[in-house]
Structure 1
Amino acid sequence: MSNSEAWINGEVSHLNNNYVNLYNNEIIGCIGIYSVTKHMKSISSAKALLILPMVFQNDLLSYMGRSNVDVKSIEQLILRKPDLLSNFNERFYSLLQVSVNSILILNALNFLTINPDGKIELLGERDFIPSYEKEVIGKRAFQIINVSYKVAKLLEDKVENLYLQLRVKL
């Protein structure tokens, strides 16, 4: 059976050691990265790569989406809900390609620019998100957009501290 036949029949969860995941794709990634960057105006490339492992984790997305949750830092989140970030390193690397592709798509479509120093900045007044209605963009995109300001707040810390606290092995 070929890889594509196995995929169609749902018999493989990965090909060539890369996770195949239609749920966590570049379009949803663009929405996540754009939404968080919109709150920050600019973001380092290193911080931008931390966005998707956060917003693509359903339990974290659900927790952060609660109106009574106000997390001020990564340290506070780890103390309150360590299980939400326990496998962050694995998620970081499994989503690295989607993160880079999403950033490059937004750049190619002129929604953001990547400066020579690696800083990512939004361009212009155009909005990447066509609508903010749940019925139009879907439940998942709607949830990601709604927690984006909280994720932006988490990313205000120094990049070195973020990678250390999230236990990303470089």
Structure 2
Amino acid sequence: MKQIDTFYNNELLTGIAILAALKQKGKVEISKVLLIHPILSYKGIVEFLKDKRTKIRSVEELIIKKNMAFANFNKRYLEDLELSINAIFLFKELGMLDIINNELIYIEAGFDFKNKVLGKRALDIIDASYNLINVLDKEEASNLYLSLRVEL
């Protein structure tokens, strides 16, 4: 189990990023959802993806444009796996998403993704997650994991 040195990344922020991505698509494979937080845990990626002018066609293009952020991606993925799973179960218990077969399904629960009370970091992550899920949705999960060099 990972030692908690900071509350910079937590289940609420992770869950908000996942929920924002689900809202955009309605439903997403769990294997793809588990990539959201490790990618968005890097501030440079969030800043890049939240920009409305940013257009990324593939995860490979994202890796090329922000290659330093992906140097230790496998480590971040494995460290953040527990956090992502906890966030999924938390938001399921809150009635904001459901798990059916291999997919997470968005449930409209009146969550305000534009509320400034969430804080700048959460709002930035929400904006970035909209762009990110469009990239993740274009490819098969196995190709994403291969491109990101995730070792399972």
Report if TM-score (shorter chain) is over 0.5: yes
Structure 1 position 49, deviation (Å): 0.5
Which residue of structure 1 aligns with residue 131 of structure 2? 150
Task: Show structure 2 runs of 5+ residues with no match.
Answer: none
Structure 1 position 65, deviation (Å): 2.1
User: Does the 8 Å contact 1:32/1:51 carry over to 2?
Assistant: yes
Structure 1 position 81, deviation (Å): 2.1
Map 1:20-169 → 2, pairs under 5 A:
20=4, 21-115=6-100, 117-123=101-107, 125-129=108-112, 132-134=114-116, 136-156=117-137, 157-169=139-151
Structure 1 position 78, deviation (Å): 1.5
Alignment RMSD (CA, Å):
1.4
Structure 2 Cα separation of the partners of residues 149 and 41 of structure 1: 12
Larger radius of gyration: 1
Structure 1 Cα separation of the partners of residues 104 and 142 of structure 2: 17
Structure 1 position 166, deviation (Å): 0.5
TM-score normalised by L of structure 2: 0.92
Which residue of structure 2 aligns with residue 5 of structure 1? none
Structure 1 position 19, deviation (Å): 3.7
Q: Per-residue displacement from partner, 1:56-109 (whole Å, max 9, x unpaired)?
A: 211111121233321121011122221122211111111111100000011111
User: Which of the pair has the greater relative contact order for Cα pairs under 8 Å at 6+ separation?
Assistant: 2
Cα distance change on mapping 1:19 and 1:61 into 2, 3 Å: farther
Structure 1 Cα separation of the partners of residues 111 and 125 of structure 2: 14
How many residue pairs get aligned? The number is 150
TM-score normalised by L of structure 1: 0.83
* 1:128 alignment partner AA: F
Which residue of structure 2 aligns with residue 3 of structure 1? none
User: Does the 8 Å contact 1:45/1:120 carry over to 2?
Assistant: yes
Q: Per-residue displacement from partner, 1:33-74 (whole Å, max 9, x unpaired)?
A: 100111111011111100101112111111212333211210
Structure 2 Cα separation of the partners of residues 154 and 44 of structure 1: 13
User: Does the 8 Å contact 1:19/1:94 carry over to 2?
Assistant: no
User: Does the 8 Å contact 2:36/2:129 carry over to 1?
Assistant: no
Find the residue that maps to 1:95 and give its secondary structure: helix
Structure 1 position 148, deviation (Å): 1.6
Task: Show structure 1 runs of 5+ residues with no match.
Answer: 1-15
